[in-house]
Amino acid sequence: MSLLFELEQHQKLVVYEEGNQILAVRLPLRRGGEFRMRDGCLSDLTGVIYRGNIRLAWQSLEHHIILSGTEEQSDRIVLSDGYHVRQYGGLKLVAKDQGLWLLYSAKEPEKDVWHAYVQQMEEEMGEPQELPGTYEKRPVLQAVQEGGYTFLLVGAEGEEQLYQWEKTWILLAEENQEEKLLPGELQNQLDLRQAQLEEKDRQIAYIREEYEKLRQIALKLQEDGRRMKEYIGIKRKKEYPPESGS
């Protein structure tokens, strides 16, 4: 999973998972532009800019759901599943109505079914709100923000339902209906948003590819420099051997 954040002064920050690390790259690329943000990440990296700061959520190797800022001391466990019974996943952070919210799905162990939830991530966290629906597998869970509104796409893959996120969940359309109940303008906005997300994914993939090329060049230059130093050292020893008895 890769995230792209627009920063001040025309800078960007790409945050991504690699192995069990969360890494970041500042753009435009400069020396020292890549840095490690966290260790121990299992999956589900998500993030938004909230009140001018980057906020991340991710699942740790211990199956804790961690809410993070850019500084490690800001980390906070917001959900815990040490025995991996609830199987939290599908994390999505959303900034909405001056609040920070986490969307996620979890398993109901006794009934072996899945539910989707939304929970406020403020200092005084609210109780989880269960979204409509019960699923045999982990449901699709996606938030889309357009025109001052927030929409949620929730449901089994291929059978998703679209809700408008207000104080309650307003069902707008069901994918398995013959005709969608969405107004044409709203559908166009959602299609445009999806195209923008796909384009951003392509940009991130290109940036990571170009960064990897530059990193390999830098590593080769470092290796060439090391070999040159060794060669110069050997040559000097041959030209200026140590005097006997010294």
Q: Residue 204 is part of a domain; what is its CATH number?
A: 2.115.10
Give me the torsion for CA of 195, 199, 204, 205, rounded to 10°: 110
User: Does residue 245 sit within a domain?
Assistant: no
Q: In this predicted structure, what is the pLDDT of residue 9? A: 78
User: Does residue 146 sit within a domain?
Assistant: yes
- Cα–Cα distance for residue pair 16/23, rounded to 1 Å: 5
Specify burial of residue 160 (Cβ count, 10 A radius: 0-12, 13-18, 19+). Answer: buried
Strand order through the sheet with 149-155: 140-146, 149-155, 161-165, 169-174
Q: Tell me the mean pLDDT in the region 107-117.
A: 89
User: Does residue 246 sit within a domain?
Assistant: no
Strand, helix or coil for residue 154 = strand
At 65, which amino acid appears?
A: I
Quickly list DSSP for 27-72.
ES--TT-EEEEEE-EEEEEEEEEETTEEEEEEEETTSEEEEE-SSG
Q: In this predicted structure, what is the pLDDT of residue 208? A: 65
Q: How many domains does the chain have?
A: 1
Does the pLDDT at position 20 exceed 90? yes
Mean pLDDT, the chain, rounded, equals 79
| pLDDT band at residue 217 under the 50/70/90 scheme | low
C-alpha 187 chain-centroid distance:
26
User: Does residue 105 sit within a domain?
Assistant: yes
User: Does residue 173 sit within a domain?
Assistant: yes
Name residue 57's beta-bridge partners.
46, 67
Q: In this predicted structure, what is the pLDDT of residue 181? A: 44
Token pair of 159 as six digits: 């059978």
Question: Do 62 and 82 form a contact (C-beta atoms < 8 A)?
Answer: yes
| pLDDT band at residue 172 under the 50/70/90 scheme | low
Residue 103's nearest CA partner among 115, 119, 88, 79 is 119
User: Does residue 165 sit within a domain?
Assistant: yes
Question: Do 121 and 114 form a contact (C-beta atoms < 8 A)?
Answer: no
User: Does residue 220 sit within a domain?
Assistant: yes
Q: In this predicted structure, what is the pLDDT of residue 60? A: 96
Residue 109 Cα distances to 62, 78, 115, angstroms: 18, 20, 11
- If one compares 215 and 45, the residue with the highest pLDDT of the two is 45
Percent of the chain past pLDDT 90, that is, above it, reads 30
Tens-digit pLDDT profile for residues 61-92: 999 999 998 887 789 999 998 888 889 999 99
Q: Tell me the mean pLDDT in the region 109-118.
A: 89
Domain that holds residue 74: 2-239
Phi, psi of 175 (to 5 degrees): -65, -25
**Cβ-Cβ contacts under 8 Å for 240 (sequence gap 6 or more):** none
Q: In this predicted structure, what is the pLDDT of residue 72? A: 78
